[in-house]
Amino acid sequence: MVDIKIVPTICPYCGTGCGINFVVKDDKIVGVEPYKRHPVNEGKVCPKGNFGYQFINREDRLTTPLIKENGEFREASWDEALDLVANKLKEVSDEDPNKVGFYACARSPNENIYITQKLARVACGTQNVDHCARICHGPTVAGLANTFGSGAMTNGFDSIKEADYIFCIGSNNMEAHPLFGRKLIQSKKNGAKLVVLDPRFTPTAKIADEYVEFETGTDVALMNAMIKVIIDKGLQDDEFIKNRTKGFEEMKETVQKYTLDMASEITGIKPEVIEHLAVEYASADKAAIVYSLGITEHSHGADNVMSTANLAMLTGNIGREGTGVNPLRGQNNVQGACDMGALPSDYVGYRKVEDQETTDWFNEYYGVNLPAKKGLTLVEMMNAAHAGDLKVLYIHGEDPVLSDADIKHTREALDNLDMLIVQECFMTDTAQCADVILPAAGWGEQEGTFTSGERRVQCLHKAQEPPEGAWLDWKIMEEIAVRMGVPREKFHYESSEEIFDEIRECAPIFAGMDRKRLDTPEALHWPCPSEDDPCQPLMHKDKFAHPDGLGIFQALEHKGPVEVVDEEYPLLLTTTRVLFHYHAAMTRRCETLDNEVKTGFIEINTEDAKELDIINGEVVKASSRRGSIAIPARVTDDIRKGIVNIPMHFAECAANVLTNSDSFDPKSKMVELKACAIKVEKFDEAVEIKTQLFKDGTVTDIAAEDYTTTIIGK
């Protein structure tokens, strides 16, 4: 008799947090079905949710620890690998904890992330722990914390269905967050007007009531001009400003120079359109702002975020259903990774490292002596490694060789370490660079929780055993901590539930959550301070999260991209995701998804392509000051002239060979992934141009004329 069972879980891709059911046959995951009762997706799934399970039981799963010797990996026992890692971490952290760094995994359950930061802080004594929010929503955490006192989405996802007006800027929901995109469609059916602002005519723009094309990186100038219009016309909410905010007069003074003509010159939007946007937003009874990485991934990303907060506070569009500032998280548990203290500035629950009383509390709780001083961010750790100031880096489930700006710089930094430790399910591009690889369990093979972009903490359920030889992430880190001399009783857990109970003790925002309350389709939203608290998604209803309860207006100036176009590099590059892909380790191992989009492409405006004599589908050479790639051209009118776009998923034509790691946001340390100057050229047929392809763990050189056959299959 065939044994088939259904196991509920949460999708491991974007931050929407859709519920799905594993179909398990003979103790192996063989498919998924939509979770009909789930309140987020209501039985609907996107392509990634439908077919994204196919990577789980791939034959190339890592199942044996690997140690690199003389440039080659050899298999090792768990004892040998764990001893090697523990001894090196102890040696270097005993000498100087600042020479050790940790990357936590934003796709892993909360419990694993919490243990990652605990390993860093308790076993190594370092505050150098971060994760990939630094290069996606770090500016959201910094910007909304400065303005609202909490760096999280202000409303639940369903709140958008009550909006009258939706201001969607720098967010392509229909591809990056499709089930939230469905809620936008529901909002439109309820009578809301959807306005989308983007340099590209995206699938989201195509469902909008109004689409506004503008220049990449000019968000502050646009919103300052809108604020000036609102104030000049007396459309601001004076009562809200008086009773619930501070800093208004300074902000008001700053925006006075942002006339419609000035903003139009900067943004490329006609003055009357900017005025129209301002009046409609301010005049709506319930206006909501939606944004994502198009706002954040700039050298002024935190300023962009704070501009959205200024708009919302100015008009009283905060603390009510149908309003708010709604950042859409890119990864399934990037919200949770921030919540769990995988930040150099924050312990679990956003308790601040630099607050001496808070650090004293954690020192007593953990039995350690941590400094009340921020550690290094992800970007700073990579720069420190490049400079020789960071000796050991422990990467849990992240792939910076693909996702970080300026891949050449990243590879040089990793090569400069004394030891790179990678804890992974697959041989990623980053794992290729490792000195030690520790094979870990994956999605569907462990219990725990994910936290979605709306702060909904949801339970995961184990559907199958990990492959023989792969360990649970938190068990790996427990064994390392014990080998480093941490008493086992301080680092031992029988289950992920025990870990979450410790999280509840450390973070008041989770104190009221227990497994029984979480293990329902509705789950719970933080803050949840007590077990009788309803833990609803709406924040800032009566007061903001600052100690005095007031929101803080920020006086902001337009800065624009650091790297600007010139005669040599006349095009501005931006990067995106596509509907069928996520990061390479997962979706490119899902046959159905990979068949939909086999490789990357560069979107180029029809007029630009004509000037460069480039035709659709032609393989071109794209170059920046950092490197070059060969990549197929996609000629389209759906992107603004002077701007080009490359999806970031594809190692063989990696956008991040081109992007700039030198310019970053001083407030959040976000690198400028959404704007760098490049040039696009035809290949000279008489010259053999080469590009690096990363395939099956090897690096090969391939002539440009062979690229089409090898990669595109045409």
CATH code of 31's domain: 2.20.25.90
Domain annotation covers residue 398: yes
Domain annotation covers residue 290: yes
Same domain, 620 and 519: no
Q: Are 396 and 112 in contact (CB under 8 A)?
A: yes
Domain annotation covers residue 541: no
Residue linked to tokens 């069972």? 5
Using DSSP's 3-state secondary structure scheme, residue 166 falls into strand
C-alpha closest to that of 108 among 342, 261, 337, 400? 337
Using DSSP's 3-state secondary structure scheme, residue 242 falls into helix
Rounded to an integer, what distance in angstroms lies between the CA atom of residue 106 and that of residue 113? 8
Residues contacting residue 338 through CB under 8 Å, at least 6 positions apart: 131, 133, 137, 141, 151, 346, 350
Same domain, 179 and 322: yes
Mean pLDDT, range 589-608, rounded to an integer: 93
Q: How buried is 367 (Cβ within 10 angstroms: 0-12 exposed, 13-18 middle, 19+ buried)?
A: exposed
Same domain, 672 and 601: yes
Q: How many CB atoms lie within 10 A of CB 212?
A: 20
Kind and range of the H or E run holding 688: none
Same domain, 464 and 579: no
How does 259-294 read in b/e, with b if 16+ C-beta sit within 10 Å? bbebbbebbbbebebbbbbbebbbebebbbbbbbbb
Q: How confident is the model at residue 687 (pLDDT cuts 50, 70, 90)?
A: very low
Say if residue 542's pLDDT is above 90.
yes
> What pLDDT shows up at residue 1?
60
Strand positions, DSSP E, 637-703: 643-647, 660-664, 671-672, 676-681, 690-695, 698-703
Domain annotation covers residue 115: yes
> What pLDDT shows up at residue 330?
81
Same domain, 401 and 449: yes
Rounded to an integer, what distance in angstroms lies between the CA atom of residue 367 and that of residue 488? 13
CATH number at residue 76: 3.40.50.740
Residue linked to tokens 């980053």? 430
Q: Are 342 and 369 in contact (CB under 8 A)?
A: no
Q: Are 289 and 324 in contact (CB under 8 A)?
A: yes
Q: Is the peptide bond before 527 cis (omega within 30 degrees of 0)?
A: yes
Same domain, 16 and 83: no
Residues contacting residue 682 through CB under 8 Å, at least 6 positions apart: 612, 613, 614, 618, 620, 621
Residues contacting residue 425 through CB under 8 Å, at least 6 positions apart: 61, 62, 397, 439, 440, 441, 442, 470, 585
The domain boundary, picked from 328, 358, 385, lies at: 328
> What pLDDT shows up at residue 695?
34
The Cβ-side half-sphere exposure at 521, using a 13 Å CA radius, reads 14
Give the pTM: 0.92
The domain boundary, picked from 296, 328, 360, lies at: 328
What is the SS3 assignment for 608-629?
HHHHHCCCCCCEEEEECCCCEE
Sign of the alpha-carbon dihedral angle for 554, 558, 560, 562: negative
By residue range, what is the domain housing residue 12? 4-52
Strand positions, DSSP E, 116-179: 129-130, 165-169
Residues contacting residue 299 through CB under 8 Å, at least 6 positions apart: 559, 561, 562, 663, 664, 665, 670, 671, 672, 675
> What pLDDT shows up at residue 299?
87
Residue linked to tokens 């690199």? 68
Domain annotation covers residue 696: no
The number of distinct structural domains making up the chain is 4
According to DSSP H, which parts of 256-300 are helical? 260-267, 271-283, 293-296
Give 201-238 pLDDT, tens digit per residue. 999 999 999 999 999 999 999 999 999 999 999 999 99
For the chain, the farthest-separated pair of C-alpha atoms sits apart, in whole angstroms, at: 75
Instruction: Look at 47 and 651; give whichever has higher pLDDT.
Output: 47
Same domain, 30 and 98: no
> What pLDDT shows up at residue 477?
98
Beta pairing class for 193-197 and 165-169: parallel
CATH number at residue 616: 2.40.40.20
> What pLDDT shows up at residue 631?
94
Say if residue 611's pLDDT is above 70.
yes
C-alpha closest to that of 646 among 695, 602, 614, 595? 602
Same domain, 657 and 623: yes
User: For the chain, how many residues are written?
Assistant: 714
Same domain, 505 and 390: yes
DSSP code of 53? Answer: G
Give 235-257 pLDDT, tens digit per residue. 999 999 999 999 999 999 999 99
Say if residue 200's pLDDT is above 90.
yes
Give 360-389 pLDDT, tens digit per residue. 999 999 999 999 999 999 999 999 999 999
> What pLDDT shows up at residue 701?
35
Read off the tokens for 316: 């009283």
Give 461-508 pLDDT, tens digit per residue. 999 999 999 999 999 999 999 999 999 999 999 999 999 999 999 999
Q: How far are the Cα atoms of 230, 293, 409, 630 from residue 312, in angstroms, in the given order?
A: 12, 19, 39, 43
Domain annotation covers residue 546: no
Q: How many percent of the chain have pLDDT more than 90?
A: 84
Mean pLDDT, range 189-193, rounded to an integer: 97
> What pLDDT shows up at residue 2?
67
Q: How buried is 145 (Cβ within 10 angstroms: 0-12 exposed, 13-18 middle, 19+ buried)?
A: buried
CA 592 to chain CA centroid, nearest Å: 24
Say if residue 512's pLDDT is above 90.
yes
Q: How buried is 434 (Cβ within 10 angstroms: 0-12 exposed, 13-18 middle, 19+ buried)?
A: buried
Give 118-160 pLDDT, tens digit per residue. 999 999 999 999 998 887 788 998 999 999 999 999 999 999 9
> What pLDDT shows up at residue 702?
35
Q: Are 701 and 688 in contact (CB under 8 A)?
A: no
Q: Are 531 and 508 in contact (CB under 8 A)?
A: no
Same domain, 413 and 508: yes
How does 121-134 read in b/e, with b if 16+ C-beta sit within 10 Å? bbbbbbbbbbbbbb
Domain annotation covers residue 542: no
Q: How buried is 518 (Cβ within 10 angstroms: 0-12 exposed, 13-18 middle, 19+ buried)?
A: buried
Same domain, 9 and 80: no
Domain annotation covers residue 704: no
> What pLDDT shows up at residue 692?
38
31 beta partners? 23
Q: Are 601 and 632 in contact (CB under 8 A)?
A: yes
Say if residue 711's pLDDT is above 50.
no
C-alpha closest to that of 394 among 428, 372, 417? 417
Give ∠ CA 309-312-317 in degrees, rounded to 5. Answer: 145
Same domain, 289 and 207: yes
The domain boundary, picked from 293, 312, 328, lies at: 328
CATH number at residue 226: 3.40.228.10
Give 283-318 pLDDT, tens digit per residue. 999 999 999 989 988 889 999 999 999 999 999 999
Give 26-64 pLDDT, tens digit per residue. 999 999 998 999 999 999 999 999 999 999 999 999 999
Tell me how far apart the terminal alpha carbons of the chain are, to the nearest angstrom: 45
Rounded to an integer, what distance in angstroms lies between the CA atom of residue 615 and that of residue 632? 10
Read off the tokens for 383: 């720069």
